Structure formats: C-alpha cells, structure tokens
Amino acid sequence: MGKKLFIKTYGCQMNVYDSARMADLLTPLGYGITEDQADADMVILNTCHIREKASEKTFSELGRLRAQRHERQQSGRDTIIAVAGCVAQAEGAEIMRRIPDIDIVLGPQTYHRLPEMVARATRAREEKLGRSGKPFRGANLLDTEFPAESKFDHLPEAAAPQGVTAFLAIQEGCDKFCTFCVVPYTRGAEFSRPVQQITAEARRLVDQGAREITLLGQNVNAFHGEGPAGGSWNLARLVRHLADALPDLRRIRYTTSHPRDMDDDLIRAHGELPQLMPFLHLPVQSGSDRILAEMNRQHDADHFRRIIERLRKARPDIALSSDFIIGFPGETDADHRATVKLIEEIGFAQSFSFKYSARPGTPAAVLERQVPESVMDGRLQEIQALLERQLTEFNRATIGRRVPVLIEKPGRHPGQMIGKSPWLQPVHALLPAGTIGREVEIEITELKHYSLGGQPTGLQPAAGFAAEPQPERAIA
C-alpha cells in the first residue's frame, strides 16, 4: 500500500515550487500526497524565516506534530517528521538540539537528497522501534549544505500536473544583501538555471495543461542563465524564447523583481509581447532615499519612479504591486511621509506591507534606533489603509470593461468558474466546465471584496445559477 505524505508550505512561491518538487522526488518511494495531516506517514514542514512571526510558526507546528505522532504510535503507526526550507537552513542545528525526535532537517538547496534521507530515516526508525519496542526519538539527519551540484539537475519529471497556472523556478538565491533580509543566508548565492532545462520544464507544464507560467526567483530579473548555444541570456530573452517556442502558453509572469535589475530589454518586452502579462510586482520597500541607502537597496526613490514611468510608456495598462517595510531602524516621520508620498504618486493595484522584523545575523538587527512597536503600528495602519483604497479603486475601475479571463477552476456556486484577469484579479462568472484552461472574454459587472464578477460576452445573460450556459466565445 502507498504511503501518505503531507507537506505544509510557508513563505514565498519559491517554497510552493520546492514543495511540489519534493513531492515529485518522493513519488518513486511510494509516497502520495494527502491533505489530511493526521493520516500522514511523513510530514514535511517547508518553512519561512523572513520575519520572526513566520519563523516561530515552525516551532509551534513541530510541537503539534510530535503530539500527533505520539497518538499514531499508539495504534502502531509511525510518522517521519522533516523540516525543510529557510528556517531549516538558518536554524537547523538549533532545531535538532531543541527537538531531539526530529528525523530530517534539510535546507532549500539539498532537497534533491531527500529520497536518500527518507530511506535512511525509515531504516533507522524501523530498526530502533523494532529493537526497543519503545517510541524512538528521531533519526536526526541534518543536511544544510550549499552543495556544488544543482538540485535542479536531479529532479524527476513532475508527477502531478500543476494545473492551468504553474510555477517554474528559473533563478535562486541572492547576492544583494539588503541589510534587513535573511534570504542571501538561507538560499545562498544567486544562481540561474540553463535555458534548455527551463524550456524543457516549461514544455512539460504546457503539455500537462498549463496555459500560464509564472517564472520564479528571489531576484528573477537578475536571471543570467546559460543559453542553448552558450553565452548568457537575460530574462527578456528567455521570456521571448518561451513565448515563441510554446504557442499554447498564453500568459507569462515573473516574480520577484528588483528595481536595480529592470533593464531596457525587459521593459521593452512588456510593450512588445502580448504573452507577458501587464502586471508587475516590484518591491521598493521605502520611499525615503535615506532609508533605501540604509537598507542597501542600491537605488533611490527617483530610480523607482523612472522605471515605472518607462514601464507605463511601454505598456500603458500595466498594473503595479510592491512590498513595503514599515519601521526600519531609524525611520523618522519624514521618512514615513516619503513612503506615503511615493505610494500616492504611483498608485498600486495591490501591495504588501510588513512591520520591520529584526532578523538574527542581519546587519540591520544590530542598528540603534529601532522604531518602537506602537509607532510602527500607527504607520502600518496608515499605509495599509492607503494601499487598500488603491486596490479597491483599481478593481472598481475594471467594472464595465471587457477583460480576457484565463479560467482556472470551478467556483463555489454551481455553474460558476473562477479565473484571473491579466492584472491578477480573481474573476468569477457562470460558464461551462469546458472553459477551464481557456481565455474567455468577460464583461465585469460587480466587485465583491477582492474578486470581480461578470458575464461572458459571448453568452446569453445567464438567468440564475441553474441556467444552462451557452457555448462561450473564447478569445483568439
């Protein structure tokens, strides 16, 4: 009988991608994914270290997991517990010390060694359990190396299709060392996959039904992968190549970008390639030049403004999203006002804002003048309210417009389908099931919280949920 694997994923899309690859790697060992943690023979926590809160979750979740393992052991069933991802990389030894019954701790760059580790953990647990008859503490296998070989060279073909929209990691790691950030330490040095490897994976995804691919990397626009005939390709060239090589790939996105790496080529591609979606997540963190310098972002606020200007010239309907850190050490009211001003000037379709979290080992953590929590709270509230207003405004502006929606899956109501607009807005409409994987033109008629509702323009207006929808008009 097959064994059951439960993976809990925290953090960014890179972790989502990695979790899927770990599942692929364990398929040959007989593991299939379960959604029921209590029933799992193996649980992997794929963790995130970016802020203190994210990282603390690992330890509380491990506590729950051990209790659950104990319960399963009462009925003669065992559970392998593994911690992967960025907390594993940063605090692997500490996890082993604090929680002796852990079996496996592995960093983001060694997950291709997981099958070997699982085989060893299984043997160790079986031997020791059999010998003593008592619950056994843990296999204690730790691998947080940054190996010379690339994990991507050791991946089996993806076992389960990802669906209409898929992630594809093309770049990993970071050499930028922003003073607040753990990523350069948890993911290691910047590294790009070769173009041929990426193209092969993209082709497989499209063959399995993907119509949209989001190219992933911690600094995805710093991509410099080896081209098929040698030499180094930039992201724009890769995107053009994928758009050319894969006619069934309707939409391409990429995330996360750094303002320093938005080159002319990439900006031009936004104006020239219909497959490249008019939505860009470009974290700026702050609107204050002084804080940007302290953060070691290596650009000022005007550099960001100029990029946005050029992007909008190339692709007037481009929507923007960003990340903001509120309360970086030394942030004054004037710095905060500069961030508010930048947000007001640009107008974002969506954004994320976080209170600064001091991370162990980062230069900013030991800076004096850490901002008091209450001050951070006030500033965060102001920024979040502003971003929320901009999001609602942006969504409201689509009402009455006809937009191409890539249909992804059935919605909650009978007959309802859900998809995304080019600007990443969730859209629902009454449509036949056969529309999954197709772009359908929808006239947007309503805004509900964060999603939009509408009518397919090629259909008779549907009379209630029971109505039998007519064949829709797909957008050519």
Summarize as ranges the residues that interact with ligand SF4 (CB under 6 A).
Answer: 174, 176-178, 181, 183-184, 218-219, 258
Contact 107/89 with Cβ under 8 angstroms?
yes
**Does the protein bind ligand SAH through residue 181 (CB under 6 A)?**
yes
CB 256 to ligand SAH: min, Å: 4
Q: Residue 50, interface with ligand F3S (CB under 6 A)?
A: yes
Nearer to ligand SF4, 65 or 183 (CB): 183
Q: Is 85 in the site for ligand F3S (CB under 6 A)?
A: yes
By beta carbon distance, the residue nearest ligand F3S is 11
List the single partner that 14 binds among ligand SAH, ligand SF4, ligand F3S, none, CB under 5 to 8 Å by kind.
Answer: ligand F3S
- Which among 79-87, 241-249, 336-344, 354-362 is the span making contact with ligand SAH, rule CB under 6 A? 354-362
Our finding on whether 4 is near ligand F3S (CB under 6 A) is no
Determine if residue 48 is labeled as part of a ligand binding site. yes
Q: Which is nearer to ligand SF4, 16 or 29 (CB)?
A: 16
**Residue of 77, 88, 16 lying closest to 47 (CA atoms):** 88
Q: Which stretch binds ligand SAH (CB under 6 A): 307-315, 351-359, 371-379, 423-431?
A: 351-359
- The residues in 29-68 that bind ligand SAH, with binding defined as CB under 6 A, are 50-51
Member of 10, 136, 356, 394 binding ligand SAH (CB under 6 A): 356
Site for ligand SAH in 88-107 (CB under 6 A): none
CB of 181 to ligand SF4, least distance (A): 3
By CB under 6 A, residue 325 contacts ligand SAH: yes
Provide, rounded to whole angstroms, the least separation between the CB of residue 28 and ligand SF4: 33
Q: Looking only at residues 241 through 270 of this chain, which bind ligand SAH when binding is defined by CB under 6 A?
A: 256, 258
Residue 12 marked as a ligand binder: yes
CB of 14 to ligand F3S, least distance (A): 5
Least gap, CB of 219 to ligand SF4 (angstroms):
6
Binding mask 381-400 toward ligand F3S (x if CB under 6 A, else -) reads --------------------
- Quote the least distance from Cβ 205 to ligand SF4, whole Å: 25
The alpha carbon dihedral of 169, 175, 181, 183 has a sign of: positive
Q: Which residues pair with 336 in a beta bridge?
A: none
Smallest gap, in angstroms, from Cβ of residue 52 to ligand F3S? 12
Query: Does the footprint of ligand SAH cover residue 323 (CB under 6 A)?
Result: yes
Query: 3-class secondary structure for the chain?
Result: CCEEEEEEECCCHHHHHHHHHHHHHHHHHCEEECCCHHHCCEEEEEECCCCHHHHHHHHHHHHHHHHHHHHHHHCCCCCEEEEEHHHHHHHHHHHHHHCCCCCEEECCCCHHHHHHHHHHHHHHHHHHHHHHCCCCCCCCEEECCCCCCCHHHHCCCCCCCCCCEEEEECEECCCCCCCCCCHHHHCCCCEECCHHHHHHHHHHHHHCCCCEEEEECCCHHHCCCECECECECCHHHHHHHHHHHCCCCCEEEEECCCHHHCCHHHHHHHHHCCCECCEEECCCECCCHHHHHHCCCCCCHHHHHHHHHHHHHHCCCCEEEEEEEECCCCCCHHHHHHHHHHHHHHCCCEEEEEECCCCCCCHHHHCCCCCCHHHHHHHHHHHHHHHHHHHHHHHHCCCCCEEEEEEEEECCCCCEEEEECCCCCEEEEECCHHHCCCEEEEEEEEEECCEEEEEECCCCCCCCCCCCCCCCCECC
**Per-residue x/- marks for ligand F3S, 166-205, CB under 6 A?**
----------------xx--xx------------------
177 marked as part of a ligand binding site = no
In the sheet with 42-47, reading across from the earlier edge strand, the strands are 31-33, 3-9, 42-47, 80-84, 104-106, 141-143
CB 217 within 8 A of CB 401: no
Q: How many residues bind ligand F3S (CB under 6 A)?
A: 14
Consult the annotation and say whether 178 binds a ligand: yes
Residues of each annotated binding site for [4Fe-4S] cluster: 12, 48, 86, 174, 178, 181
Residue ranges in contact with ligand SAH by CB under 6 A = 50-51, 180-181, 183, 218-219, 256, 258, 283, 285, 323, 325, 354, 356-357, 359
Residue ranges in contact with ligand F3S by CB under 6 A = 11-12, 14-15, 48-50, 85-86, 182-183, 186-187, 218
